[in-house]
């Protein structure tokens, strides 16, 4: 089943961003991931919390591929750049519709 990784990133500083963006796609692709959206252009239509600096949505072929990406030892130095330079929130979820399959 397809899985999505959704991330919200709020920059602390931009020193790391260029290097990160130059290298991140190779790790996403290595694990079968496809970036569906990576943007700084967001528009709040509901809710009270502050918007992040940017968001990303990545599609992976399955949960195992997504976890392999996040846990890839070669990705960890690059991941640490992001962790040091931003506050990040990531969630992983399957491509399913509870209205169709029912809540279990």
Strands 34-39 vs 3-11: parallel, antiparallel or unpaired? unpaired
Three-state SS string over 40-64 comes to: CCCCCCCCCCCCCCEEEEEEECCHH
Quick one: pLDDT band at residue 100, thresholds 50, 70, 90? confident
Local confidence band at 104 (pLDDT 50, 70, 90 cut-offs): low
| pTM as predicted | 0.90
Q: What percentage of the chain carries pLDDT values higher than 90?
A: 92
- The single-letter DSSP state of residue 11 is E
Give residue-wise pLDDT tens across range 18-32. 999 999 999 999 999
CB proximity list for 9: less than 8 A, separation 6 or greater = 52, 53, 54, 55, 56, 82, 86, 87, 88
Closest CA to 33 of 6, 65, 71, 78: 65
Q: Please give the backbone phi and psi of residue 81, each rounded to the nearest 5 degrees, phi first.
A: -55, -45
Domains and CATH numbers, the chain: 3-43+50-94 (3.30.70.100)
**What digits encode the pLDDT tens for the residues 31-68?**
999 999 999 999 999 999 999 999 999 999 999 999 99
Question: Would the pLDDT of 97 be above 90?
Answer: no
Instruction: Give the separation between CA 54 and CA 6, rounded to whole angstroms.
Output: 11
């Amino acid at each position: 089943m397809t899985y999505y990784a959704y991330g919200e990133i709020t920059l602390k500083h931009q020193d790391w961003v260029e290097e990160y963006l130059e290298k991140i796609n190779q790790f996403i692709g290595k694990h079968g991931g496809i970036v569906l959206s990576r943007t700084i252009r967001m528009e709040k239509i509901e809710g009270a919390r502050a918007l992040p600096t940017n968001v990303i949505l990545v599609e992976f072929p399955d949960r195992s591929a997504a976890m392999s990406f996040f846990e890839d030892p070669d990705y960890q130095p690059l991941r640490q750049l992001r962790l040091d330079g931003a506050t990040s929130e990531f969630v992983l979820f399957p491509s399913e519709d509870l209205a169709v399959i029912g809540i279990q």
